[in-house]
Amino acid sequence: MVENRARRPLAQRLTSRGGAWISLGLVLLIMTALFGAFGSAQAPAGNAQAPADSESARAAALLAEFPDADRQSVLVVAARDDGARLSDAETAQLQGLLPVLGEHAAAEPSGPMVSDDGRAAVLVVPVEAGSTNAETAPRIEALRADLAGHAPEGMTLQVTGGPAFGADVAAAFEGADFTLLAVTILIVAILLIITYRSPVLWLIPLVVVALADGLAGRVTAAAGAAWDLHFDAGIISVLVFGAGTNYALLLISRYREELLVDADHRRALATAWRRSLPAIVASNATVVLALLTLVLATIPGTRGLGVSSAIGLLIALAAVLLLLPPLLAVCGRRAFWPLVPRPVGAGLSVDSGAGDSGAAPDEASAPAQHGRVWRGIAERVVARPAASLIAGVALLAVMSAGLIGTSVGLDQLQKFRVPSESAAGLEVLSQHFAPGEAQPILIVANSDRASDVVAAAREVDGVVRAHPAGETSVDETASAGLVKIMVTSEYAPSSGPSLDQIAELRDAVHAVPGADAVVGGAVATDVDARSGNLHDLLLVAPLVLAVGFVVLLVLLRSLVAPALLLLVNLASAVAAIGAGAWLSRVLLDQPALDLQVPILSFLFLVALGIDYTIFLVHRARAESAGRGTRAGMVEAIAHTGGVITSAGIVLAAVFAALGVLPLVTLGQLGLIVGVGVVVDTLVVRTVIVPAIFSLVGDRIWWPGNAQAVRGRKEGESTHGPRELSAVAR
């Protein structure tokens, strides 16, 4: 068939002698303009955990109307180093700290309150909290520094409470983005050097992807500011680096193939660009469309991540397709030095070096041997497809067993890997006081029914005390103001009994007529976040699968293949989550998965898994048109096994880099996706998919190319890669 003429001019403009320089200059000029236009953009701070319409979110909005709503309490927990009871003299010393604390307080500090066992005391310091953790952190640091110089001898003072936790989070993430970026770049650089075995070539895709990541960070920040999106920039950076490197690997791999049969490196690059374009675009479209399903999520952070990540991946796609080709064209074959691919046969020799002269090793042998390894694996799989399929499915089943005993939801102490003073202080507080002291439950109700709401709250099991803690003023348009009621629980925050207590408390105060009571606070937010994440998972997961099915349907023009491939992807994703959950519990001592981990893991595993499906099956469809399905799959694995494995290892390693961040959520996400990508690359794409295709045979393509299959005679046609790709189009 005649090649698509609509794409040919662009490929030639990107790679021709003059067009490459013009394209390179134009793309860099556009990127520079975009860097300048969005360079000052700042994404919104904060990351709401619960749905915007949840009861805890409504309570937070009402609490913001109270006088001094920006004031929050910091707790100074004091205990003897030897664990003994505090003496009267030591209690008096703690009381003497009130003037010191007052220098940092927004209102009069109080205390000390001594625990029933007499082994600990608490001082309460109201502070003015900033709009972000980073704004609050300097105030907490100053308070701690001042306390350190006045601590009574033989006693330890620890600052904890909500603002202190926020300050410790900000401190833990200080410099973390730079660390993540540095580790990611180092990982990609090392793997590219190993993949290309060239001291030059790895720099080209790395520079392209790094530029894309920098631009994506600025554009997504601007989008976040314009649309009030909340997201984690670290995840976006990992996605851009991982996916962008994968696209570059696929393009350069195809370019290398073409260089072995075409003496003109520019023509070879244009051919590689055209022939890898459908797989790269389909791969990108799958992940982007899957990410955009997150706009339907109720959790603000999840919704924001979907839009911003989609923008980042589109920028990565544009950079690889429009900036990488002219760079490769300008560098020519020399970029592959010292193993320069050249046409073999017809009197042509294969040499290496920066120029056209000089002795060289036989480069042809390297890809041939590499292809023979993957070809041998594929031939063994298709020779015994049933046994191969059973073995692969058994492995996935064993991995899925890790879901047994898995729970979802971490409390505040479990969400961060790094030790902190606020966490240590909370542990001491929980040992000697009611565990709920540090995170009281807050109820907002009409002030004229305050006594009834307090009485109802006190009747709930596990409530230590409930009392009014402030009122709003009454204006002319309202018959009554609002009252804030503080409830202290005997249960540890976010423990099972604590979460159940929120439901009981809501039932109790909702039953008070005319009170219009709503229950908020950190634990109530956790309850609503758990409910919202479950809702999002049940909504988004089917949509992600539907997106994958449609993309495969359009690409393969088949009904059978997309259905079977999607089923395999689903099983692989579940297996990876199970294995990751088990590893988190056993090796990392993390008792549960964090709330957003299941939905984000499923999204990335399915969408990225379909990426590799597209890389493999798109090639298999082209090869099967002339060879038959079984032989076509063997040929496809021989040609793509190396690049898919390299891409999978790069992506897994990049996601693993999330483990350098102090947040357990990102570490678990990186672990699960990393494990899943490796298994998907080495087991699913290498064993399970070829076994299925071998068992189903030509019927796998029904009804897309049934006519081509019927028209093929046994033993007919042994097209090379170029002719087969043309047949597929």
pLDDT digit string, tens, across residues 493-528: 888 899 999 999 999 999 999 999 999 998 999 999
CATH architecture of 376-410+530-728: Up-down Bundle (1.20)
Q: Which residues contact 568 (CB under 8 A, 6 or more apart)?
A: 684, 688, 689, 692
Please tell me the predicted confidence (pLDDT) of residue 358: 33
Which of 352 and 139 is assigned the larger pLDDT? 139
| Rounded mean pLDDT, 444-470 | 92
Please tell me the predicted confidence (pLDDT) of residue 345: 57
| Rounded mean pLDDT, 217-223 | 93
Mean pLDDT of the chain: 85
Report CA-CA distances (Å) from 530 to 334, 409, 505. Answer: 55, 7, 17
Q: Which CATH number fits domain 71-173: 1.10.260, 1.10.3470, 3.40.1180, 3.30.70?
A: 3.30.70
Q: Which two tokens stand for residue 382?
A: 């298709």
CATH architecture of 433-526: 2-Layer Sandwich (3.30)
| Rounded mean pLDDT, 375-395 | 94
Question: pLDDT, tens digit, for every residue of 70-99?
Answer: 788 889 999 999 989 999 898 999 999 999
Task: Determine the length of the chain.
Answer: 729
**What proportion of the chain, given as a percentage, has pLDDT over 90?**
43
Task: List the single range of 476-485, 536-545, 644-653 with lowest mean pLDDT.
Answer: 476-485
pLDDT tops 70 at residue 727: no
pLDDT tops 50 at residue 548: yes
Which of 511 and 664 is assigned the larger pLDDT? 511
Among the listed residues 615, 495, 504, the one whose alpha carbon sits nearest the alpha carbon of residue 246: 615
**pLDDT level of residue 365 (50, 70, 90 thresholds):** very low
Please tell me the predicted confidence (pLDDT) of residue 359: 33
DSSP code at position 272: H
From its phi and psi, is residue 281 left (phi > 0), alpha (psi between -120 and 50) or beta?
A: alpha
DSSP code at position 416: B
Instruction: Count CB neighbours of 399 within 10 A.
Output: 24
Task: List the single range of 443-452, 528-537, 677-686, 699-708 with lowest mean pLDDT.
Answer: 699-708
Among the listed residues 34, 437, 48, 390, the one whose alpha carbon sits nearest the alpha carbon of residue 216: 34
Written as one string, the DSSP assignment of 686-707 is IIIHHHHHHHHGGGGGTTTTHH
Question: pLDDT, tens digit, for every residue of 600-659?
Answer: 999 999 988 888 888 888 888 888 887 888 999 999 898 888 888 888 888 888 888 888
| Rounded mean pLDDT, 450-460 | 94
pLDDT tops 90 at residue 451: yes
Q: Which amino acid is at 543?
A: L
Please tell me the predicted confidence (pLDDT) of residue 705: 57
| Rounded mean pLDDT, 137-161 | 89
Report the range out of 43-47, 136-140, 184-188, 485-489 with the highest average pLDDT.
485-489
End-to-end CA distance of the chain: 7
Please tell me the class of the 8-40+175-359 domain. Answer: mainly alpha
**pLDDT level of residue 665 (50, 70, 90 thresholds):** confident
- Confidence (pTM): 0.82
| Rounded mean pLDDT, 441-453 | 93
Please tell me the predicted confidence (pLDDT) of residue 473: 59
Among the listed residues 331, 330, 332, 338, the one whose alpha carbon sits nearest the alpha carbon of residue 193: 338
Helices (H), 110-232: 133-148, 162-173, 176-196, 203-227
Q: Round to whole Å and give the CA distance between 30 and 47.
A: 32
pLDDT tops 50 at residue 713: no
DSSP code at position 657: G
Task: List the single range of 72-86, 159-173, 436-450 with lowest mean pLDDT.
Answer: 159-173
Please tell me the predicted confidence (pLDDT) of residue 537: 94
Please tell me the predicted confidence (pLDDT) of residue 533: 94
In this chain, the answer to whether the domains covering 71-173 and 433-526 adopt an identical fold is yes
pLDDT tops 50 at residue 256: yes
Please tell me the predicted confidence (pLDDT) of residue 176: 73
**pLDDT level of residue 348 (50, 70, 90 thresholds):** very low
**pLDDT level of residue 707 (50, 70, 90 thresholds):** very low
Task: List the single range of 59-68, 307-316, 575-584 with lowest mean pLDDT.
Answer: 59-68
Q: Bridge-partner residues for 577, per DSSP?
A: none
Task: List the single range of 275-284, 499-508, 563-572 with lowest mean pLDDT.
Answer: 275-284
| Rounded mean pLDDT, 442-461 | 93
Task: List the single range of 304-318, 413-427, 672-686 with lowest mean pLDDT.
Answer: 413-427
Residues 11/21, Cβ–Cβ less than 8 Å: no
Do β-strands 518-520 and 463-471 pair in parallel, antiparallel, or remain unpaired? unpaired
Q: Can you give the residue ranges of every domain in the chain?
A: 8-40+175-359, 71-173, 376-410+530-728, 433-526
Q: Round to whole Å and give the CA distance between 46 and 129.
A: 13
Q: Which two tokens stand for residue 285?
A: 């479209």
pLDDT tops 80 at residue 363: no
Q: Round to whole Å and give the CA distance between 668 and 577.
A: 10
Report the range out of 120-134, 471-485, 713-727 with the highest average pLDDT.
120-134
Which of 625 and 242 is assigned the larger pLDDT? 242
pLDDT tops 90 at residue 404: yes
